[in-house]
Structure 1
Amino acid sequence: MEIKVLAKPSSPFQKIEKVSENEFIVFLKSPPSKNKANLELIKILRKYFNDDVFLVRGKNSKRKVLRIGNGN
């Protein structure tokens, strides 16, 4: 399954908001520098979905596409 995420780095809190079945807004405490926000994003989504999470597109963007699980 692929999901679309709007990442909000450098937020004062960490939160996942479900917008639709495959779209989320994720507030991250980490700054966007040195890949810190991406690592935090993957970590909290892995916990949320209880599955592996892979960044497909958007490494340097706030709008990202991630794959949940192995794609089956």
Structure 2
Amino acid sequence: MQKGAWAELAVSGAEFSCKVTPRARRSTITRDGSMIKISVTAPPEDGKATAAVAEALAHALGVAKTRLTLLRGAISREKVFRLD
């Protein structure tokens, strides 16, 4: 995906609900209504998959990954991020 493809969604204070698939064959990110589906190749160990999801979401939004804050789902497949 091109960096900043979803830049119109990058509004300060916006929350993003994500459904994550770790250890995928390849990394992908798609939107299905208000849910964002993200597949990452990273394993779900020691927060590696969560970090990869934050990086992929930040890339799609065209913002720095430090602007994303994980609100819920540190060890779950369903995560909620907020853009600061």
TM-score by length of 1: 0.88
Identity of aligned residues (%): 22
TM-score by length of 2: 0.76
Q: Could you tell me which runs of 5 or more consecutive residues in structure 1 were left unpaired when the two chains were aligned.
A: none
Which structure shows the bigger proportion of residues in strand conformation? 1
Q: Could you tell me which runs of 5 or more consecutive residues in structure 2 were left unpaired when the two chains were aligned.
A: 1-13
> What's the C-alpha RMSD, in Å, of the aligned pairs?
0.9
Query: In structure 1, what is the Cα distance between the partners aligned to 2:77 and 2:26?
Result: 17
Query: In structure 2, what is the Cα distance between the partners aligned to 1:13 and 1:49?
Result: 19
SS for the counterpart of 1:33 is coil
1:27 shift after superposition: 0.3
The equivalent residue for 2:16 is: 3
Equivalent residue for 1:16, pick from 29, 35, 48: 29
Alignment of 1:1-72 (within 5 A): 1-20=14-33, 22-51=34-63, 52-68=67-83, 70=84
Q: 1:40-66 CA distances to partner (integer Å, 9 max, x unpaired)? A: 011111111012221110000001111
The AA in structure 2 aligned to 1:5 is C
Q: List structure 1 runs of 4+ shifted beyond 4 angstroms.
A: none
